[in-house]
Structure formats: structure tokens, C-alpha cells
A and B are shown apart, each in its own frame.
Chain A
Amino acid sequence: MVVKLDKVDVVVVGTGWAGGVVSAELSKAGYKVVALERGKNVNRDDYIGVKDELRYTNRYEMMQNLDPETITSRNYLDETALPVRTRKEMMVGTDLGGGSVHWAGATYRWKPYDFEIKSKTIERYGKDKIPEGMTIQDWGITYDEMEKYYDRWEKTAGISGEPDPIGDKRSSDYPNPPMKESPAVGLFMETTKKMGYHPYRVPAGNLSQAYTNPDGEKINQCMFCSFCTQYGCDFGAKSDPLVTVIPTAMKTGNFEARTGAYVKRVLYKSGKATGVLYIDKMTGVEYEQPATVVVLAAFTFTNNRLLLLSGIGEPYNPKTKKGVIGRNFNGQFGITFLGARGYFKDKKFNYYMGAGALGGTLSDFAGDNFDHSKLNFINGGGIELRQYGDGAIATNHVPKGTPNWGPEFKKNSIYYANRSLVAWYTMATMSYWHNFTDLDPTYTDSYNDPLLRITYKYTDQDRVMAKFGIEKSREIMEEMGADIVDEDEIPHEFNHVYNGGHYAGGVIMGADPATSAVNNYLQMWDVDNLFVVGGSAFPQFAGHHPTATIGALGYRASEGIEKYLKNGGQLVKGKQESASV
């Protein structure tokens, strides 16, 4: 029996940055908002004093329990996908605040080129520059239109940073100055400047000073304690939904977050979403939560899966290349973030200290900032040196040629514990017709619903770009004075390890309903009162970390939802673009 609840204005699935921003904005505007979160109810107190590397980094304390549900994965269309069974192979955040609580804090705006990649690539290099099978597309929105949402989110989050010297137009500076500079970061900055590049400090969600955001939420100053990525902040000094948008929503009196609520379906009738069906994991009771507007703001996998399970939107078919749900699955994992590690024989760094986004970066090889005429790839990425602060279990890097265990391993791993640095390329990943999501025919979750299946393989574009980034990273590391420089190896094929959390696409934005699922307000073309917000909307991945863009899209969607609640209807008129793939 399903218990039917009273109707609310907006029901939001997921409480990370996407769901958090939407919940805060709509509850501030006076609408009744209910957010459903499958994970636990947590607050700042849950993260005080728990600096435990084994529990958080190695046992994935803040990641989804995969026992009830995971994804399946394969490279090729004719393969049988296998489940990704362990949390070592599958990093997906959970609990109130979602993956946004354990993030590192690196905060980049994406570029004008990213939002209009197809047009701009053709404009500069001609149609043939885009290889056959690559399904990149413009977002249906430009950087100039996105700028105010970026600005707004950066102020909510209190980002600490300095402008990219070769970056794009900004309406205002970052709300806080860059963090203090460690000697390792200083060495990267100084060296790359000498090399003729344009380094700047990684814009950070770890705050350089105490700050009160425009909603009145206080965020503390970062202590560089190093327990940051994969941890909640001990000090309320990392910007996350738990210290910003969720308390903002709570204060309005219009917002309720229900945790332990596992959403099974979006309910749908005659072209409209009527609400969602969820199960209370504490009692096993099923509820129907009716709402005027349904917002899917869960993780990419969940947004994809819920639409497929609910039969909303036409599923993408790779054989006919028609349909939209599941199309253009993309992300930064595996082949991205490759670079070069330098070992310094006579130099020690205080590398046990740090913060998630403490670092230096440069955009000289990002987007279309460099000429691709003679290169066999498009787009690019940032080059970063980050000082996360290494834990003792993590710091076991040894120069190539050292055995992985035994006496020599022990000697080298201890010697180089504070003597190695890494620079890497945060490269973009383009979308292809053969990378997509659908429902798995075999494996099911604990309620016997099919798991989401990912079909994903690398292409020459990925491998050639990775090689380019590794070479640039190596040059920098050599200039920095490393005695030994080891290059990362380029994997031949995707190995089904979903690390880092940057998985995107499948419910993508665009101008044409034939090739996108949502319009530029994140409103579904097929269903006017259903908004799908988050990384799932990225038609392809840019060469920088995604969080700022997810935050900005949250504000963009909030504006759209308000418009819909006032006037109803489809907010954007779809354009028919050439259907060439």
C-alpha cells in the first residue's frame, strides 16, 4: 500500500549542490519545498574530530553503500556488463549534502568555448576537425548568459581565489582572496611563470578567511588540516551545502529534508509529472509525494536511472542514434588527471599539510586557448599542482622500477614520503555515440529494479590529449627541479573504476529537443514541470572541475522553476539543428 502525502509546490530529489541551491532559492521565494535524500541525516557535528584516514579514505565512509544498488559497466555494445561491486571502484557520495560534502573544493568556471564548443570548433578549424562519431554539442546557453549564475554561486560558496590571467570576463572578483601559498605551490607558480605560462591559484572552496555569504551563512577559515577530500570539514571551513544552502532553506520555514528516502519512480500522467514514489528506508513504507514541480537533482547515475525506470523521455538507442535519455554519457575518470610525478632527492616538503583545493594551476592548454590546427584533438584542460595534504597510508609513491612491496619498496616509500610532487592535466572528455547509459538486462537493486548500465570506452582523442598533457606536466616537473620524473601511463581502455566523482551526461542540455533532454533552464522538453539539474546536464565535459558549473546551473534552474510556477508552460522554444552525429 502506498501512502499518499499532501501535495507540495516542489519536490527535490537529492540534496547536494544542485538540490541544495534549488531548495534554498525556492523556499526563499515562498514555495513549499520537500527534499528527498536517500542517505543519512548529518550535520557539521558528524565531521568534528573524525580525522581517520583508514575509515574515510580507504573504507569510503562517506560513499554510497553499494549493497542495495550500484551500476554495471562495459566498454562495448556487444559485451555483457558486469556490476561495479566495491566502493574502491565506485566513488559516489551520499547523505545530506551529497557528494558536495566530501569534495576537494577546486572551483573553476567553464569557458565560452565549452558552452558553444561545436560552433566555435567549426568556426575556427572547419567541420572536419570534429571526428566522426563525436557527438559534442552546444549547450543552448552561452558563457555570457551563465556568468551571473557563476557569480552568484561563488558568493554563496565564498570561493577564495584570484582571476585567471588569461581567463574570461567576470562581473566581480572572487569573494575571498586566495589561500596562503605553500612552498610546493610557490615552486609551481614561479617555475611555470618562468616558462612563459600564466599560472594562478586554484580557486578554492576552502576558505582563506572567515566569511558570511549573502544568505547570512557563516563559513570559517581553513586550517590546512589535510582531512578534506573524502571528508566532511572538521571546522565548517569548506564550503558545502551543510554550511550554506541547506541551513538557508531551513531558515525559511518552507523547507523539509527527508532522509532515508529512496526514490523509486517519478510519477507521470498525461504529459505531466505528478510527484514521486519513494520508500522510507527506516520503515519500508512506500509514499507518494505529489508536487506541482518535480526536480531531479540527484547524482548523474540516479537522474538517468529514475527517468529510464519511470519511462519518461525517449531512451537513447545507440543503433539508431535516436532518443535522448542516456545520450552523451561523459566524465572525468580513468584517463583524465594523468600527469607526471617528480621525486626530489634533496628537498622535503611539508606534504602532510594541505587543503583540498590548495594549489596552483594554468589555463594555457585549456579549452581553445591554444592552437589545435596541428593537433589531433580538440579542447584541453588545466594543469594543476595540488597540495591536498597526504595521509600516511596514501603516501606510498615510489619511483618507477621500485618493486611494489618488500625491502626496497619500504625504503623508497619512506624516503620519498615527503619528497614527491605531482602535476596533472585536468583534461576535457568529449562525447561519442557509443558512450551512453541504459538499464541493465540482468542485475537489479534490492527492490528488483534494474541497475543502470554504463557503456563507455576511450577514443584516440582521449589518448592523444592525455599524452599531450603528460608531456606538458613532465616539462614542468623537470623545470621544478625534480631528480626523477615518472610519467603516468595512458590506459588502453577504460577499466571500470569510477573514481573522483566526475560522471556526467545522459540527461543533457541543448537547443534541439531531438538531441537534448532538457532546455537551458534544465526543464525537460517532454515534461514541462520536470526539471533535471546537475552534472547529468553536461553534453560533454570541459577541461576543469565541474562543481561551479553545477552550482551555477542550480541557480539557472531555480530561475526557470520560479518562472514555471508563475506562468507554466515550456520556457524555451526548441530549435531544430542538423541531425548529423
Chain B
Amino acid sequence: MADKPSDRNEKSGMSRRKFIKNSGLVAGGVVGGGLFGGLFTNQLQKKEPVTPHGNTNGELQDARVSINRAEDFAILSAATERIFPKDDLGPGAIELGVPYFIDKQLAGEWGVNAKEYMKGPFITNIQAAGTHNDERDQDSQGPNSATQVPIPTPRYQSILNRSEIFTLGLRKIDQVAQEDFGARFVELSPDKQDEVLRMFDEDKVEMKGVGSANFFHLLQQTTIEGAYADPVYGGNKDMMGWKMKEYPGPRASYLDKIEEKEFIKMEPISLRNYQGH
């Protein structure tokens, strides 16, 4: 009774599609460089989407503690805003503080994979680092599916921790923007930014050490978390995410409301309110 060979082993022999096009567009976009870098930074400060959140009220929590380069943070801000854009329903990722939320997450135990198994050997070829088993689009299922973030679940086999994946991924976004679209990511139109991000989502960009879809799913997951996690973590500014969703925040009891037929809308309260400080 011979066992069936692994699909994965079969696939590894196949060549992956190559997506980074060597088109004429590449010529204009060189990463880094003294003069260009300086111009870039100046431009950032002028452009609206990269000035995350108008810090006019002394919001002292809003500063980078993990991502060193301002330009990486600008790319992060612009990308999260495309994933969760401002619209007539309410604020987008930047206004909600999502980029700062992500920066703080990357600085903590989750960002450095403190509680994950990070012992080798690592399967470092791109096939193993890519997204596995992505045929299920119904998220994580099981008894807790209602409490999971609805994104595909890649199998993590990278030697890189999440913070390192973000740094590589953000810079790769900018590289793809320049090589394929001829401009820095933050300077592209929203449609073009979406095109760049879609290439990552569809695992069409080659990255070193991690699949581009894995990076994108991390970015997507943390963007949603930043929009809706308790404000204590730096996102969901002023509970605006919860207000959009009519989510009431942590509360002690719905004992007298659980049988109620009509929808009950409540002003949200935060963990700080709940713990009664």
C-alpha cells in the first residue's frame, strides 16, 4: 500500500512564475541614494497620506519605537490606508492610528516571535517559505472561527521574525513600486498602490526568506487588528473603529439584554473604563 507522494514535493520542482518585470519603468526608480533620498523625505512631509494622524493634541503615544526609518513608516502608513481606507463610513487606518499600533506590536514579544518555535533547521527555499495550503478561503475554521481574523493562514517556516519580515516587506513594496510603476510607493495613485499590494497578496513578488503573501497577510491582519483592538494598544483611536461597527467594547453583563429582539446600539467603553481606573 504505497503512500501518496506529497503535493508539496511535487510542486517544488516546478518553476514559479516570474513577476518582476524588466520593463523600461525600472530605469527611473532607484532605491535610496543621497540626493534622491533627501528629496523623498521632503516630499513625504508634504504629502497628506504619509503624515499619519494630525498630532495636534500632544498625543505623546504616537512615535515610532520599532521601525527606524521614517520612510519605512510612511510606506506602512500608505499601505494600511489602502487596506482599510477612509470613506464616508468613517476613518481609515491612518486616522485610527494603525501604523503606530503595528509599530508597537513589532516592538513587543509578538514582533520578535518570543513565543513561537524558532529553532532550526529552517526550510529556507522560497517554496517552503511561501503560503501553504491557501485553497481555503474561509479563514481559520473550527470552534473558534468566529473569533479569528478572516485571512488565509499561511504556515510559518521563515527564519525571520515578524519585525524583520515587516522591514523587508515594506522596502520590497517600495522597490516594486519603483521598478514596475516608476515611482515611490507613497507617490503612486491609490489605484496603482492597490496594484502593488495585490502583487504581494497574490504571492507574485519574490522576497528573500519569506513568501510575499505571508508578509502581506501579516500586514493585512495587523491592519484589521489596529482598527479594532482596544485603544490601549495605540490603534482604534478614540474607539472610532468600534463606533463604525457598533461594537460596545468590553462590558460586564448582557444578562438583561440577551433576549432582546431589536438591535441595541451603545456608546462603546474601553478596557480602561472597564477596569475602572
Name A residues whose Cβ lies closer than 8 Å to a Cβ of B. Answer: 49, 51-54, 57-60, 65-67, 69-70, 74-79, 82-89, 91, 104, 106, 133, 180-183, 221-227, 229-230, 234, 332-334, 336-338, 348-350, 352-354, 358, 386, 388-398, 400, 404-407, 410-411, 414, 417-418, 422, 434, 442-444, 446, 486, 488-489, 491-493, 495-497, 499-502, 545
Contacts and interface: CB of A to CB of B under 8 A. Distances in A.
Contacts of A89: 153, 155-156
A489 B258 contact: no
Interface in B128-142: 128, 132-133, 135-138, 140-142
Task: Provide the main secondary structure of the chain B interface.
Answer: loop
7 contacts: A67-B114, A74-B6, A82-B128, A225-B252, A229-B143, A386-B146, A422-B145
A82 B157 contact: yes
Interface stretch (B41-49, B56-64, B67-75, B227-235): B227-235
B255 A388 contact: no
B88 to A, nearest CB: 9
Contact of B246 (A227, A354, A417): A417
Interface stretch (B14-22, B32-40, B171-179, B237-245): B237-245
Interface of chain A, main secondary structure: loop
Given A53-B230, A58-B225, A406 B4 contact: no
Contacts of B236: 392
Contacts, number: 248
Contact of B245 (A51, A85, A417): A417
Which 4 pairs across A and B sit closest by C-beta, in order of nearness? Answer: A51-B250, A495-B133, A500-B142, A223-B253
B267 interface: no
B151 A404 contact: yes
Interface stretch (B118-126, B180-188, B203-211): B118-126
B25 interface: no
Contact of B137 (A182, A406, A489): A489
- Most chain A CB neighbours (cut-off 10 Å) among B137, B241, B245, B254: B254
B141 A499 contact: yes
A292 B65 CA distance: 55
Nearest to A457: B4
Interface of B: 1, 3-9, 82-85, 87, 89, 92, 110, 113-119, 121, 123, 128, 132-133, 135-138, 140-151, 153, 155-157, 194, 197, 201, 220, 223-225, 228-230, 232-233, 236, 241-242, 244-248, 250-255, 257-261, 263-264, 271, 274-276
B250 to A, nearest CB: 3
B227 to A, nearest CB: 8
B117 A67 contact: yes
Contacts of A223: 252-255
B135 A489 contact: yes
B122 to A, nearest CB: 9
A337 B201 CA distance: 27
B155 to A, nearest CB: 6
A57 B225 CA distance: 11
Nearest to B90: A414
A411 B87 contact: yes
A405 B217 CA distance: 10
A392 B133 contact: no
A497 B194 contact: no
Contacts of A396: 149-150, 224
B136 A491 contact: yes
A52 B250 contact: yes
A496 B132 contact: yes
B9 A79 contact: yes
Contacts of B150: 396-398, 404
Given A53-B230, A66-B117, A224 B3 contact: no
Given A390-B146, A393-B225, 11 more contacts: A78-B3, A87-B116, A133-B1, A391-B147, A391-B228, A396-B224, A404-B150, A410-B84, A495-B153, A496-B155, A499-B144
A529 B261 CA distance: 56
A337 B89 contact: no
Nearest to A91: B144
B3 A76 contact: yes
